[in-house]
Amino acid sequence: PNFGWYQYGQRVGIWRLLDTLSRHGARATLSINSAVCREYPEIVERTVAAGWEMMPHGVVQRTMATVDDERAVIEEAIAEIEAATGKRPRGWLGPALVETPQTLDLLAAAGLEYCCDWGPADDLPFDLEVASGRMIAIPYPVETNDIVVFAVERHPAEEFYARCAAALEILYAESAASPKILALALHPYLTGTPHRIAALDRVLALARERYGACVMTASEILDWYVAQTPPTQRR
């Protein structure tokens, strides 16, 4: 049953997410196991055509702490996505957000520029220490993550909307002094179901119509941050 539940996201839920975001002119950053490029090529083709960004999430759903060769997994995931899309990915989200002590250095050595594993730590990007190059943490949520809201805390869809609406109100007020980011983590087998998709539609409408929020991909956030933050600065 759990395998079938997960499959629902690839077969049905992803298209609801794509349609809903497209209606609001929103482009997502797709955290993707690179094996999806082989198993579900239409997902990659249609989301890339819609302007979504591809962010490697390993090759399959296996944490970096359990793979035999972490460097090889990172390189394979990057290469597979680049071959399928014609564009080299710039960031990374580890399966289950799990790292080893060497993960960040390996990501930087592979030429990646941002990582979302440390995203729950802040409302804004910040620099992470790596042996060489530069690595930026991009916000990735726990509190507005549909796995937490629906699968862990077991709230109804209205809670997701209420939580995002409350966050938008405070972040908008605080943005008078400093930019703020509300990150949303959506999984197609959860938010892509018929009884939850309307909550996302309402969140996007509220963000755009009441607050004039700008929906940005992770790379767009990265470029905005790097353009104004010298490498020597640490938050």
Give residue-wise pLDDT tens across range 86-107. Answer: 999 999 999 999 999 999 999 9
pLDDT of 56 reads 98
Q: Give the pTM.
A: 0.94
Residue 232 has pLDDT above 80, yes or no: no
pLDDT of 201 reads 98
Residue 188 has pLDDT above 70, yes or no: yes
At 156, list the tokens.
Answer: 């109804």
Residue 234 has pLDDT above 70, yes or no: no
pLDDT band per the 50, 70, 90 thresholds, residue 233: low
Q: How many residues does the chain have?
A: 235
Question: pLDDT tens digit string along 58-77?
Answer: 999 999 999 999 999 999 99
Average pLDDT over residues 205-211: 97
What does the alpha-carbon distance between residue 170 and residue 180 come to, in Å, rounded to a whole number? 10
What does the alpha-carbon distance between residue 165 and residue 158 come to, in Å, rounded to a whole number? 10
Average pLDDT over residues 26-55: 97
Type of residue numbered 224: W
What does the alpha-carbon distance between residue 87 and residue 189 come to, in Å, rounded to a whole number? 27
Residue 235 has pLDDT above 50, yes or no: no
Look at residues 148, 147, 145, 180 and name the one whose alpha carbon lies nearest to residue 164: 145
